[in-house]
A and B are shown apart, each in its own frame.
Chain A
Amino acid sequence: MDVELQVTVENLLSRYVHAIDDDRLEDWPGFFVDKGRYRITTAENYERGLPLSLIYADSRAMLADRVSALRHANIYEAQRYRHTVSSTLVERIDGNTARATSNFQVVRIMHSGDSILFAGGRYLDRIRLDAKDLRFEEKIVVLDSCSVDTLLAIPL
C-alpha cells in the first residue's frame, strides 16, 4: 500500500466533509478541478445503469451556482449535516490520478434538535494528484437508499 497516497486522499476527504459540515459551502467547488463532475444518485439507478442524478454538475461553475442558489434563492429550514467517512480504499490509476472508494454517513440536525440518519452510501472518487492540492475530477455519491426525507439542499 502507498501509505503517503492513502493519507493524502483521506486528508482530502476529511477537509471536504468539514467544509460542508462547517457551512463553508463557498469552499466546496474548490475541491474540484475546473471541469470536475459531481453527481448524487441512488444505488438502484447506479446498478441499473440509469443516468439520472438528484444533483448533477459537470463544472466548478455549476457547483458554484448550486451554492449561490442555496444562499439566495432556495427556501429550506435551518439544518446542518455531520458527515462520517470511513473504509477508504485508494488505488493509483496513473502518475496523475487515483481512484478512491469510501463509505459515508450523514446525520442531519434540524434547528428543532431532531437528528436523523439522513443519508448513507459510497463516495466513488477520481482524484487528480498533480495539482498543488489534490482535487476531485469526479465524485459520484451513491445513496444506498432510493428515498430522501423531505429535501436535499446542502450537498453530500
Chain B
Amino acid sequence: MSAGPASRAWPSEGLARVPYWIYQDEDVYRREQERIYRGDAWNFLGLEAELPEKGDFKTTFVGEMPVVVTRDESGAIRCFENRCAHRGALLCLADRGNAKEIACVYHNWTYDLRGDLTAVAFRRGIQGKGGMPLDADPEGQAPRKFRVEVFCGLIFATLSGKTPVVERYVGPDVAARIRRVMKEPIKILGGYTQVLQSNWKLYFENVKDTYHASLLHLFFSTFRLNRLEQKGGVVVGGEGGSHASFTMMKSDLSGDEYEKAGMRSASGGYALQAPQMLESVDEIGDGVTLQILTVFPGFVLQQIMNSLAVRQVLPKGVGRTELVWTCFGYASDDATMTELRLKQANLVGPAGYISLEDGAATGFVQRGTAGASERASFVEMGGRTVESNESRVTETSVRGLWQQYRRHMDL
C-alpha cells in the first residue's frame, strides 16, 4: 500500500486536497507516532474525575505508547510510560485501580506514583553474591515522564517542554467553548469503546466535518434538530487542528432548503412514539443545543442536547482506530437530569441514532481509496483556506486539521 517517495509530496492545491496515501502509508503512520504523539502535541488521556483519590491510576495510550496516569500522594496528576526500566515489560496491567506503588510483575522492580524507580529486587545480590555492579544506573532507563496539564478537568500530556499551555494551544475561542461545557464538577456515567476500521485521521476529519452532519445523519434532520439553515457557526483555533462547531436550535423551523434541493435527508413524515427523550434542558443558558469540539490530535468534547461526553481517538495501526467514549453529567444533577442524560445517550456511541453512521463512514473511505493512493480528497466547501465561519456548509475545520498536521509532519 506504500506510495512511492515521489508521490509523497502534498498536492499543489494545498489544503483543499488531501492525498489518499496519507490514510494508507505505514511510513506516515510511524512518523505520526514520533512527530505528533511523542512530539509536541497535547494528548488527551482522560478526565480528572476518573482519578478522584490519591493513588488512583488508569492505563491508556499516547498514540501507540502505553502510559500510566496517576494521582500521586500530593494530589497531582502524573503520567509516565507504562514500561519497566529493566526489560521493557508493561508495569501496570490493570485498566484502573488504586495503589501506593507500582511493581513490575516480571522481576518486581518498583516505582512510585510519579514513575520514579524506587527499588530493584536483589540489587546488591543475596549474601554478597550476585547483584548489579555498584556503578549500574538502571534509573537512567526509567520510563519517560510526561508534562501534564489538567485544563477544566481534562487531562492532557506531552513529552515536549516547548508546547504552549493548553489554552494557547487551542486558542481563546475554543478554550471558551471547553469552559462552557466543563463549567462545574462532573459525574461519570460510564463508557465504552468503538472500534473503527479506518485510519485515525478519517475519524478526526469526520468529527470536524460540519458539512456531513445533517446529510449522513438522517435522524436529526428528520426531526429538524440540526439542519444547516439553523443558526450556528464554526470556530477554528490554535494552529488549525482544534475547532468547535455549534448549533442554536429553533423549534419552529420554516426553512425549506433541503426540500428544494431534494436531499435524501429531507424525506420526512415519520414521527417518534416516545419523543420525550428529545426534550432537552438549556442548562448552559445560551441556547446552544449542540456543540462538537476537537483538540488536535485526538480529543473530542460533545454536547448533544444534554448528552455530554469526551471521546479519545487512539490509533491502532494504519487502518484501525479505537474511540474511547466517556459520558458524564454534572455532580449537581438530580435523578431526573441523570435519567434525561441516560436517555439522550441513545443519540451517541456505536448504537447512537446520530452517530452510528460515523463508525461505518470512515471505513467506507478507507475501503474506497484502496486502489487510489495517488488521488486526493476534494475539500473546497467554504473555500480553500482556514477561518472561523458562521455557516456550517463548510469544510474549514477539516482544512484546519491538515494545516496543523502538515506543520507537525513537515509535509
Q: Are B274 and A51 in contact (CB under 8 A)?
A: no
Q: Are B343 and A69 in contact (CB under 8 A)?
A: no
CB-contacts of A56-79 with B (<8 A):
56-59, 61-62, 64-66, 68-69, 72-77
Q: Are B274 and A151 in contact (CB under 8 A)?
A: no
A53–B325 CA distance with the chains assembled, in angstroms? 12
Q: Are A54 and B349 in contact (CB under 8 A)?
A: yes
A148–B32 CA distance with the chains assembled, in angstroms? 26
Q: Are B216 and A52 in contact (CB under 8 A)?
A: no
Q: Are B193 and A51 in contact (CB under 8 A)?
A: no
Q: Are B343 and A74 in contact (CB under 8 A)?
A: no
CB-contacts of B327-365 with A (<8 A):
327, 338, 342-343, 345-346, 349-351, 353, 356-357, 359-360, 363
> In the complex, which residues of chain B have a beta carbon less than 8 angstroms from the beta carbon of A149?
195, 197
B280 within 8 A of A: no
Interface size bracket, B side: 35 or more
Q: Are A59 and B274 in contact (CB under 8 A)?
A: yes
> In the complex, which residues of chain A have a beta carbon less than 8 angstroms from the beta carbon of B273?
61-62, 64-65
A55 within 8 A of B: yes
Which one of A40, A57, A73 has the highest number of Cβ atoms from chain B below 10 Å of its Cβ? A73
Q: Are A153 and B342 in contact (CB under 8 A)?
A: no
Least distance between A101 CB and chain B CB atoms (Å): 21
A55–B346 CA distance with the chains assembled, in angstroms? 6
Closest to A50 in B: B190
Q: Are B192 and A148 in contact (CB under 8 A)?
A: yes
B120 within 8 A of A: no
CB-contacts of A99-156 with B (<8 A):
146-153
Q: Are A53 and B195 in contact (CB under 8 A)?
A: no
Q: Are B218 and A73 in contact (CB under 8 A)?
A: yes
B219 within 8 A of A: yes
> In the complex, which residues of chain B have a beta carbon less than 8 angstroms from the beta carbon of A96?
none
Q: Are A150 and B219 in contact (CB under 8 A)?
A: no
A52-B189, A150-B197 as given contacts; A69 in contact with B219, CB under 8 Å: yes
Q: Are A74 and B345 in contact (CB under 8 A)?
A: no
Interface size bracket, A side: 35 or more
A55–B277 CA distance with the chains assembled, in angstroms? 12
A153–B359 CA distance with the chains assembled, in angstroms? 11
Q: Are A75 and B218 in contact (CB under 8 A)?
A: yes
Q: Are B357 and A75 in contact (CB under 8 A)?
A: yes
Q: Are A41 and B350 in contact (CB under 8 A)?
A: no
A56-B343, A59-B274, A150-B196 as given contacts; A51 in contact with B189, CB under 8 Å: yes
B346-386 interface code vs A (CB 8 A; 1 in, 0 out): 10011101001101100100000000000000000000000
> In the complex, which residues of chain B have a beta carbon less than 8 angstroms from the beta carbon of A76?
356-357, 360
Closest to A76 in B: B360
Contact partner, A73, options B196, B338, B343, B353, Cβ 8 Å: B353
Least distance between A150 CB and chain B CB atoms (Å): 5
A61-B274, A64-B273 as given contacts; A45 in contact with B195, CB under 8 Å: no
Q: Are A150 and B345 in contact (CB under 8 A)?
A: no
A58–B277 CA distance with the chains assembled, in angstroms? 10
A41–B327 CA distance with the chains assembled, in angstroms? 13
B188 within 8 A of A: yes
Contact partner, A150, options B218, B338, B359, Cβ 8 Å: B359
B191 within 8 A of A: yes
> In the complex, which residues of chain B have a beta carbon less than 8 angstroms from the beta carbon of A148?
192-195, 350-351
Which 7 A-B residue pairings sit nearest by Cβ, starting from the closest? A52-B190, A50-B190, A147-B193, A61-B273, A151-B359, A61-B274, A45-B190
Q: Can you report 22 residue pairs joining A to B where beta carbons are below 8 Å apart?
A: A41-B190, A42-B190, A45-B190, A45-B192, A50-B189, A55-B351, A56-B345, A58-B343, A62-B277, A64-B273, A68-B270, A69-B219, A73-B218, A74-B218, A77-B360, A147-B193, A148-B193, A148-B195, A148-B351, A150-B196, A150-B197, A151-B350
State the B residues within 8 Å of A (CB).
Answer: 95, 188-197, 216, 218-219, 222, 270, 272-274, 277, 322, 327, 338, 342-343, 345-346, 349-351, 353, 356-357, 359-360, 363
Beyond A51-B342, A146-B191, A147-B195, list 11 extra A-B contacts (CB 8 Å): A52-B190, A56-B345, A57-B274, A68-B270, A68-B272, A72-B222, A72-B270, A73-B219, A75-B360, A147-B194, A150-B194
